[in-house]
Amino acid sequence: MSLMTAAPAHIPVLVKEAIEALAVQPGGRYIDCTIGTGGHTAAILDKSSPGGQLLGIDADPEAIKVAQTRLEAYGDSALLVNANFADLEAICFKYDFFPVHGILLDLGLSSLQLNGNGRGFSFQHDAPLDMRFSPSQEITAADIVNTYSEAEVARLIYTYGEERQSRRIARHIVQQRPIKTTFQLAQTIQQATGGRHGKIHPATKTFQALRIAVNHELEHLETALKQAIDLLGFEGRLVVISYHSLEDRIVKQFMRRESSADKARLRLINKRVITPSEEEVQLNPRSRSAKLRAAERIINQREQYVMAREYTFSWEIDAGGWRRPGLLEKLRRAFVAP
Ligand SMILES: C[S@@+](CC[C@H](N)C(=O)[O-])C[C@H]1O[C@@H](n2cnc3c(N)ncnc32)[C@H](O)[C@@H]1O
């Protein structure tokens, strides 16, 4: 069954490559941490049929609504949860959904959010400066722009936008306060930078920075990656698609670290990052900055030792030798085919 033709508002990126890297198989169990409008989700469900199961997560309740409609025909095979992937482990424990064969993170924004009226993510649509993935979050982009000190605004734009003119932009922002809409902010940035110099709009980096700050995107990514490892069964795959260098650096360093130590828990699937073909970029310009990295869960000697001890000397561990609740259970399950 394929629902891939159901008029997607968002064209999914590197779908074939993601499915391949996840090694999706019939009857497998998968987590899509960023369902968006459900493009990758549908592809995973198609490929894991018959018998596949999918847990889908998105912080944005609107995305969940769109995906729910799109994925209706998959029935019980898909369980969609409106939550933040920083809580991945808790979500999987709650729904008893581990270990899994694969976990996908397709980071950033969907076109639904970018083009959606009133979300404030884009300087091409006039809207209140919001930028929250979820309305349950407290801080909006307007709060940051209008209440943070000039130094804080500059630091944030520099760190999360890699914007060299961060101080000048921050100074103009503070002078123009209160700034309530995307157009007002874009105009302020244009004044600060003297308009467009290169290919990209002068507001691009500042908007990226604010969005990352509002949604704690980098912190949540690091948290989710750490939790993902424990949820993967033996030979389970972790696949991450990122869209800017800050995200990609975190993924790359994480996968390197976890695959190089003698206590390695991951093996890299591709030494080189996977990027979209020229054809894909032409069809979907939004894909041009995409980078896919993939790794496979391995069980290292230390974990094997713990497992062996659990079976041989379980009374000793129960008596207090092991203090991380849930870990033994995860390890035990990692050895048992789901
Ligand atoms: C690039 S889109 C995913 C598109 C999707 N793969 C598709 O094919 O339609 C990224 C999605 O991740 C969600 N997202 C970003 N950060 C999140 C987080 N920390 N927790 C949960 N969802 C998140 C966004 O709300 C957005 O819907």
* pLDDT tens per residue, range 165-177: 999 999 999 999 9
Domain range for 322: 301-335
pLDDT, tens digit, for every residue of 73-130?
A: 999 999 999 999 999 999 999 999 988 999 999 999 999 898 877 899 999 999 999 9
Torsion of CA 245, 246, 248, 251, to 10 degrees: 160
> Given a cut of 80, is residue 319 above it in pLDDT?
no
Give the residue whose CA is nearest to atom 8 of ligand 1: 39
Q: Count structural domains, the chain.
A: 3
> Given a cut of 50, is residue 223 above it in pLDDT?
yes
My answer on whether 193 and 265 are in the same domain is no
My answer on whether 150 and 11 are in the same domain is no
Q: Which two tokens stand for residue 61?
A: 């309740």
> Given a cut of 50, is residue 337 above it in pLDDT?
no
User: Beta strand pairing status for 291-297 and 266-268?
Assistant: antiparallel
Do 131 and 209 touch, CB atoms closer than 8 A?
Answer: no
What per-residue string of b and e applies to 201-224 under the rule 16 or more CB within 10 Å gives b? bbbbbbbbbbbbbbbebbebbebb
Least Cα distance to 265 among 289, 291, 299, 233 occurs for 299
Which CATH number do you get for residue 87?
Answer: 3.40.50.150
My answer on whether 166 and 206 are in the same domain is yes
My answer on whether 174 and 107 are in the same domain is no
Residue 300: pLDDT band with limits 50, 70, 90? confident
My answer on whether 235 and 102 are in the same domain is yes
My answer on whether 201 and 319 are in the same domain is no
My answer on whether 88 and 234 are in the same domain is yes
Residue 251: pLDDT band with limits 50, 70, 90? very high
Return the half-sphere exposure (C-beta side, CA atoms, 13 A cut-off) of residue 153.
25
> Given a cut of 60, is residue 336 above it in pLDDT?
no
Which residues form ligand 1's pocket by a CB distance below 6 Å? 10, 12, 34, 36-40, 57-60, 63, 84-86, 106, 108-110, 133, 220
My answer on whether 8 and 87 are in the same domain is yes
293: exposed, middle or buried (C-beta count within 10 Å: 0-12, 13-18, 19+)? buried
Amino acid (1-letter code) at residue 327: L
Q: For residue 57, how far is its CA from the centre of ligand 1 (angstroms)?
A: 8
My answer on whether 60 and 22 are in the same domain is yes
Q: For residue 231, how far is its CA from the centre of ligand 1 (angstroms)?
A: 19
> Given a cut of 50, is residue 63 above it in pLDDT?
yes
Which CATH number do you get for residue 147?
Answer: 1.10.150.170
Residue 55: pLDDT band with limits 50, 70, 90? very high
Average pLDDT of span 219-235:
95
Last residue of a domain, one of 169, 199, 214: 214
Q: Rounded to whole angstroms, how far apart are CA atoms 154 and 157? A: 5
Q: For residue 174, how far is its CA from the centre of ligand 1 (angstroms)?
A: 31
- How much is the pLDDT for 301? 81
Among 213-222, 238-247, 296-305, whose mean pLDDT is lowest? 296-305
> Given a cut of 70, is residue 333 above it in pLDDT?
no
My answer on whether 106 and 236 are in the same domain is yes
Percent of the chain, pLDDT > 90?
78
Pocket test for ligand 1, best of 3, 14, 58, 121 (most atoms within 8 A of CB): 58
My answer on whether 104 and 20 are in the same domain is yes
Residue 4: pLDDT band with limits 50, 70, 90? very low
My answer on whether 105 and 232 are in the same domain is yes
Residue 299: pLDDT band with limits 50, 70, 90? confident
Q: For residue 302, how far is its CA from the centre of ligand 1 (angstroms)?
A: 34
Last residue of a domain, one of 173, 196, 214: 214
> pTM of the prediction?
0.90
- How much is the pLDDT for 5? 38
**Other CB atoms closer than 10 Å to residue 17's CB: what's the count?**
20
- How much is the pLDDT for 315? 44
Last residue of a domain, one of 214, 235, 253: 214
- How much is the pLDDT for 328? 56
- How much is the pLDDT for 188? 97
- How much is the pLDDT for 321? 42
Q: For residue 195, how far is its CA from the centre of ligand 1 (angstroms)?
A: 31
Q: Which two tokens stand for residue 79?
A: 């369980």
Residue 309: pLDDT band with limits 50, 70, 90? low
